[in-house]
Amino acid sequence: MDISASFRPDPSNPHQNKFTNDTPVSGHCQLQPEFCKERDLFSLLIPSEFRSIAPIVAGHADSRRGAMFRVPGDWRRFTVRKVDSSETAQVEVRIVSIGGRYILPDTAENLVGEGEPTNVQGWHTRLWGDWTWAPPAPCQPTGGMYTEPNSRTFFWMTSNSSVCAARANYHISSLLYDRVQIGYEMRTPDPLQMSAGQYTGNLTYTVGPGMDFDMGDVMYPNDPILTLSFTLNVEHTLKVDIPPGGNKIELVPEGGWQNWLQHGRKPVRLFRDQVFNISASSRFKMQIGCEIPGLYDCMIRDPVSQRAVLVQLSVSLPDGLTDLAGVPVKRRRLLRVGQEENQKYQALNYVNNRPGTLHFEVAPEYMDYMLQPGEAANYSGNIVVIWDSEI
């Protein structure tokens, strides 16, 4: 059986970092959607039937010789793997309900004979004792069931891996469960910690007496294996917008050039802060490329004197984006391509079109070197800032 879930960033709900179950609804949750929504429950019709291999004896003392149900209610963990890489994530699933339709060899009326009550529901109730619309303990009812002369539907919330069993008050020569369905809960990984792409994995259950799905020693399945095949699709956003003209960076002193031009006071530093808007829902890294490379930083050069100085570039990211240790990113230095190991960042929640800042600076120790009285100079160079979703 195929189960699929997806994650897409939602600008209207940026803190909702969960997968959406996209599996087509079948069974009880299709008929009772509100009931399932309140419990974060999903139902699934499975291609299984159970047929009795022996009669069910009236008043049987052994619960395994009648209508018995035990499902794998413990959390089962398995691995999903990205289809085009070795990246993996963990998913957990547990079965929390069992349902279907039981079909009798004759009408319930004919099986129980004379007595009260004398209606379809009453005849089924007499057949199974206290099994009315409520299931045998510790299973819990869900409602929305229906009864026919020779059949009844059921969908019960189970309790972990406990046994729910009903005792027949009358002889039943044969019994069939069809339209079998399960209800499951799913724990998915944090999609913000996963790369974009498709992940697949399988969870296999055994079916039969003493197995994961155990219907006692009388009811046997048509297939001893049930495999749930999971597909998780992760879509991410990484979008950067720079305002018009923001790609032209003019480095200037605090307060402009007037103190230098009019009074000969050398600037303490040259700098420029450039705002950008970022939308991000996953991990990414930042690095820089240089027209004029330095050891770690980029340089700008005056073509006449051939003097060159380093430009230190750092970044501040908006709230919700941190480094991989969860530390906010404030004036974090950016380095050239190949030196970017410490320049990886993550989204704690979907950040939608929030402002960040690139900080460009020529440090104070270069001021004497750059600025010579009476000597004009024009320092320039290209710096490429890269936001990269491929970690």
SS3 of 165, please? strand
Q: What is the pLDDT of residue 340?
A: 59
The CA distance from 198 to 75, in Å, is 23
Q: At residue 74, what is the residue type?
A: D
Q: At residue 115, what is the residue type?
A: G
Q: What is the pLDDT of residue 341?
A: 64
- Using omega within 30 degrees of 0 as the cis cutoff, is the peptide bond preceding 138 cis? yes
Q: What is the pLDDT of residue 339?
A: 66
User: Would you give per-residue pLDDT tens digits along the chain (391 residues)?
Assistant: 999 999 999 888 887 889 999 999 999 999 889 989 888 889 999 999 999 999 999 999 999 999 999 999 999 999 999 998 999 999 999 999 999 999 999 999 999 988 787 889 889 988 987 555 578 889 998 877 889 999 999 999 998 889 999 999 999 999 999 999 999 999 999 998 899 999 999 999 999 999 999 999 999 999 999 999 999 999 999 999 999 999 999 999 988 888 887 777 888 899 999 999 999 999 999 999 999 999 889 999 999 999 999 999 999 999 999 999 999 999 999 998 776 566 899 999 999 999 999 999 999 999 989 888 778 899 999 999 999 988 7
What total number of domains does the chain contain? 2
Structural domain ending residue among the three candidates 199, 234, 269:
234
- Does residue 251 share a domain with residue 178? no
Q: What is the pLDDT of residue 371?
A: 84
- Please provide the size of the chain in residues: 391
- Does residue 279 share a domain with residue 225? no
- Does residue 213 share a domain with residue 348? no
Q: What is the DSSP code string of 176-218? A: EEEEEEEEEEEE---GGGS-SEEEEEEEEEEBSTTSSBB-TTT
- Does residue 299 share a domain with residue 207? no
- Using omega within 30 degrees of 0 as the cis cutoff, is the peptide bond preceding 117 cis? yes
Q: How many angstroms separate the Cα of 194 from the Cα of each of 122, 139, 172, 212, 320?
A: 54, 37, 53, 31, 16
- Does residue 300 share a domain with residue 212? no
* Domain CATH number, residue 324: 2.60.40
SS3 of 105, please? coil
User: String of b and e for 128-163 (b: at least 16 CB within 10 Å)?
Assistant: beebeeebbeebeebeebebeebbbbbbbbbeeeeb
Comparing CA positions, the residue from 60, 71, 2 lying closest to residue 228 is: 2
Q: What is the pLDDT of residue 132?
A: 59
Structure tokens at 202: 């399988």
- Does residue 119 share a domain with residue 168? yes
- Does residue 255 share a domain with residue 215? no
- Does residue 210 share a domain with residue 62? yes
- Does residue 84 share a domain with residue 224? yes
Termini Cα distance of the chain: 33
Structural domain ending residue among the three candidates 214, 234, 254:
234
Domain membership of residue 319 as a residue range: 238-388
The CA distance from 100 to 129, in Å, is 19
Place of tokens 């230095």: 333
- Does residue 343 share a domain with residue 301? yes
Q: What is the pLDDT of residue 121?
A: 87
Comparing CA positions, the residue from 357, 378, 365, 366 lying closest to residue 250 is: 378
- Does residue 187 share a domain with residue 252? no
- List Cβ neighbours of 47 (8 Å cut-off, separation of 6 or more): 1, 223
Q: What is the pLDDT of residue 40?
A: 85
- Does residue 134 share a domain with residue 49? yes
Structural domain ending residue among the three candidates 234, 259, 294:
234
350 touches 10 (CB < 8 A): yes
Q: What is the pLDDT of residue 7?
A: 95
| Ordered alpha helix ranges (H), 203-311 | 258-263
